Structure 1
Amino acid sequence: MSKPLTDQEKRKQISVRGLAGVENVSDLKTNFNRHLHFTLVKDRNVATKRDYYFALANTVRDHLVGRWIRTQQHYYEKDPKRVYYLSLEFYMGRTLQNTMVNLALENACDEATYQVKQTGQVRMKTFTQCLGVGLGLDMEELQDIEEDAGLGNGGLGRLAACFLDSMASLGLAAYGYGIRYEFGIFNQKIVSGWQVEEADDWLRYGNPWEKARPEYMRPVHFYGRVEHTPEGVKWVDTQVVLALPYDTPVPGYRNNIVNTMRLWSAKAPCDFNLKDFNVGGYIQAVLDRNLAENISRVLYPNDNFFEGKELRLKQEYFVVAATLQDIIRRFKASKFGSTEYVRLDLSTLPDKVAIQLNDTHPALAIPELMRILVDVEKLTWEKSWDIVVRTCAYTNHTVLPEALERWPVDLFQNLLPRHLEIIYEINRRHLERIAKLYPGDHDRLRRMSLIEEGNVKKINMAHLCIVGSHAVNGVARIHSEIIKDTVFKDFYDVDPQKFQNKTNGITPRRWLVMCNPGLAEVIAERIGEDYIRDLDQLKKLLKFVNDDAFIRDVAKVKQENKMKFAAHLEDHYKVKINPNSMFDVQVKRIHEYKRQLLNCLHIITLYNRIKREPNKSWTPRTIMIGGKAAPGYHTAKMIIKLITSIGDIVNNDPVVGDRLKVIFLENYRVTLAEKADLSEQISTAGTEASGTGNMKFMLNGALTIGTMDGANVEMAEEAGEENLFIFGMRVPDVEALDKKGYDAMSYYNRIPELKQAMDQISGGFFSPNQHDLFKDLVNMLMHHDRFKVFADYEAYIKCQEKVSALYKNPKEWTKMVIHNIAGCGKFSSDRTITQYAREIWGMEPSLEKIAAPDDIH
Structure 2
Amino acid sequence: MAKRNSASERRKQITIRGLGGLVGLENVAGLKLGFNRHLHFTLVKDRNVATMKDYYLALAHIVRDHLVGRWIRTQQYYYNKDPKKIQNGWQVEEADDWLRHGNPWEKARPEYVLPVYFYGRVLHTKDGVKWIETEVVLAIPYDTAVPGYLNNTVNTMRLWSAKAPNDFHLHHFNVGDYIQAVLDRNLAENISRVLYPNDNFFEGKELRLKQEYFVVAASLQDIIRRYKASKFVCKDPRTCFDSFPDKVAIQLNDTHPALAIPELMRILMDIEKLGWDQAWNITKSTFAYTNHTILPEALERWPVAFFEKLLPRHLAIIYEINQRHLDKIRSLYPRDDQRLRRMSLVEEEGEKKINMAHLCIVGSHTVNGVAKIHSQIIKDQIFRDFSDIEPAKFQNKTNGITPRRWLLLCNPGLATLLAEKIGGDYIKDLNQLQKLHALVNNDEFIHDVASVKQENKVKLASLLEKEYGIKVNVSSIFDVHVKRIHEYKRQLMNCLYVIVMYNRIRKDPNKYFVPRTVIIGGKAAPGYHMAKLIIKLITSVAQKVNNDPNIGNKLKVIFLENYRVSLAEKVIPATDLSQQISTAGTEASGTGNMKFMLNGALTIGTMDGANVEMAEEAGENNMFIFGMRVQDVAELDKKGYNASQYYEKLPELKAVVNQIASGYFSPNQPQLFSDILNMLFHHDRFKVFADFESYVHTQEKVNQLYQNPREWTKIVIKNIASSGKFSSDRAIAEYARDIWGVEPKALQIPAPNDSQDI
TM over 0.5, yes or no? Answer: yes
1:198 and 2:97 aligned? no
SS in 2 for 1:247: strand
Give the drift of 1:853. 2.8
Select 1:603's aligned residue among 498, 509, 532: 498
**Superimposed CA distance per residue, residues 501-534 of structure 1 (whole angstroms, 9 cap, x where no aligned partner):** 0000000001000000000000000000111000
Alignment of 1:86-485 (within 5 A): 189-336=85-232, 345-485=240-380
SS in 2 for 1:674: helix
**Superimposed CA distance per residue, residues 40-91 of structure 1 (whole angstroms, 9 cap, x where no aligned partner):** x99xxxxxxxxxxxxxxxxxxxxxxxxxxxxxxxxxxxxxxxxxxxxxxxxx
**Superimposed CA distance per residue, residues 226-260 of structure 1 (whole angstroms, 9 cap, x where no aligned partner):** 00001000000000000001000001101010111
Range with greater deviation from structure 2 (502-511 or 199-208): 199-208
Give the drift of 1:276. 1.8
Q: For the Cα contact (< 8 Å) 1:188–1:197, is it kept in 2?
A: no
Cα distance change on mapping 1:343 and 1:853 into 2, 3 Å: farther
**Superimposed CA distance per residue, residues 130-163 of structure 1 (whole angstroms, 9 cap, x where no aligned partner):** xxxxxxxxxxxxxxx9xxxxxxxxxxxxxxxxxx
**Superimposed CA distance per residue, residues 679-719 of structure 1 (whole angstroms, 9 cap, x where no aligned partner):** 00000000000000000000000000000000000000001
Q: For the Cα contact (< 8 Å) 2:153–2:747, is it kept in 1?
A: no
CA RMSD of aligned residues (A): 1.6
Query: 1:556 matched to which residue of 2?
Result: 451
Aligned residues: 673
**For residue 324 of structure 1, what is the amino acid of its counterpart?**
L
Q: Distance in 1 between matches of 2:633 and 2:410?
A: 37
Q: For the Cα contact (< 8 Å) 2:89–2:536, is it kept in 1?
A: yes
Give the drift of 1:341. 9.3
Alignment of 1:747-766 (within 5 A): 747-766=646-665
Select 2:414's aligned residue among 508, 514, 519: 519
Q: Distance in 2 between matches of 1:845 and 1:299?
A: 34
1:509 and 2:404 aligned? yes
Q: For the Cα contact (< 8 Å) 1:697–1:703, is it kept in 2?
A: yes
SS in 1 for 2:155: strand
Q: Distance in 2 between matches of 1:697 and 1:241?
A: 44
Cα distance change on mapping 1:856 and 1:582 into 2, 3 Å: farther
Q: Distance in 2 between matches of 1:422 and 1:541?
A: 55
**Superimposed CA distance per residue, residues 374-417 of structure 1 (whole angstroms, 9 cap, x where no aligned partner):** 11111110010000000000000000000000000011011000
Give the drift of 1:848. 4.5
**For residue 710 of structure 2, what is the amino acid of its counterpart?**
K
**For residue 688 of structure 2, what is the amino acid of its counterpart?**
V
Q: Distance in 2 between matches of 1:632 and 1:855?
A: 53
Q: For the Cα contact (< 8 Å) 1:716–1:724, is it kept in 2?
A: yes
Q: Distance in 2 between matches of 1:656 and 1:754?
A: 20
**For residue 322 of structure 1, what is the amino acid of its counterpart?**
A
SS in 2 for 1:769: coil
Q: Distance in 1 between matches of 2:749 and 2:642?
A: 62
Cα distance change on mapping 1:423 and 1:799 into 2, 3 Å: same
SS in 1 for 2:574: coil
| Structure 2 unpaired stretches of 5+ | 1-40, 43-75, 77-82
Q: For the Cα contact (< 8 Å) 1:837–1:844, is it kept in 2?
A: yes
Select 1:571's aligned residue among 456, 466, 474: 466
Q: Distance in 2 between matches of 1:387 and 1:521?
A: 48
Select 2:708's aligned residue among 795, 806, 809: 809
**Superimposed CA distance per residue, residues 594-619 of structure 1 (whole angstroms, 9 cap, x where no aligned partner):** 00010011101111111112112111
**Superimposed CA distance per residue, residues 284-303 of structure 1 (whole angstroms, 9 cap, x where no aligned partner):** 41343111000001111111
**For residue 462 of structure 2, what is the amino acid of its counterpart?**
A
Q: Distance in 2 between matches of 1:371 and 1:740?
A: 49
SS in 1 for 2:165: coil
Query: 2:37 matched to which residue of 1?
Result: none
Query: 1:772 matched to which residue of 2?
Result: 671
Give the drift of 1:732. 0.2
**For residue 553 of structure 1, what is the amino acid of its counterpart?**
D
TM-score, structure 2 normalization: 0.87
Select 1:581's aligned residue among 473, 476, 485: 476
**For residue 720 of structure 1, what is the amino acid of its counterpart?**
G
Q: Distance in 1 between matches of 2:527 and 2:174?
A: 43
Select 1:678's aligned residue among 554, 577, 584: 577
Select 2:718's aligned residue among 800, 819, 840: 819
Q: Distance in 2 between matches of 1:256 and 1:230?
A: 53
Give the drift of 1:856. 7.4
Query: 1:653 matched to which residue of 2?
Result: 548
Q: For the Cα contact (< 8 Å) 1:412–1:419, is it kept in 2?
A: yes
Moved over 3 A (4+): 339-344
SS in 1 for 2:99: coil
Select 2:429's aligned residue among 526, 534, 542: 534
Q: Distance in 1 between matches of 2:106 and 2:632?
A: 50
Give the drift of 1:335. 2.3
Query: 1:19 matched to which residue of 2?
Result: none
Give the drift of 1:849. 4.9
Cα distance change on mapping 1:200 and 1:566 into 2, 3 Å: same
Q: Distance in 2 between matches of 1:856 and 1:243?
A: 37
Give the drift of 1:654. 1.1
Query: 2:61 matched to which residue of 1?
Result: none
Q: Distance in 1 between matches of 2:92 and 2:732?
A: 37
Give the drift of 1:188. 6.9
SS in 1 for 2:137: strand
Q: Distance in 1 between matches of 2:375 and 2:310?
A: 34
Query: 1:709 matched to which residue of 2?
Result: 608
TM-score, structure 1 normalization: 0.77
Give the drift of 1:205. 1.2
**Superimposed CA distance per residue, residues 769-814 of structure 1 (whole angstroms, 9 cap, x where no aligned partner):** 1111100001100111000000000000000000011111111000
**For residue 789 of structure 1, what is the amino acid of its counterpart?**
V
**For residue 164 of structure 2, what is the amino acid of its counterpart?**
A
- Percent identity among equivalent residues? 72
**For residue 444 of structure 1, what is the amino acid of its counterpart?**
R
Q: Distance in 1 between matches of 2:237 and 2:499?
A: 69
Give the drift of 1:768. 1.1
**For residue 466 of structure 1, what is the amino acid of its counterpart?**
I
Give the drift of 1:363. 0.1
**For residue 405 of structure 1, what is the amino acid of its counterpart?**
E
Query: 2:485 matched to which residue of 1?
Result: 590
Q: For the Cα contact (< 8 Å) 1:360–1:396, is it kept in 2?
A: yes
| Structure 1 unpaired stretches of 5+ | 1-40, 43-144, 146-186
Q: Distance in 2 between matches of 1:213 and 1:856?
A: 27
Give the drift of 1:281. 2.1
**For residue 343 of structure 2, what is the amino acid of its counterpart?**
M
Q: Distance in 1 between matches of 2:368 and 2:703?
A: 38
SS in 2 for 1:211: strand
**For residue 729 of structure 1, what is the amino acid of its counterpart?**
M
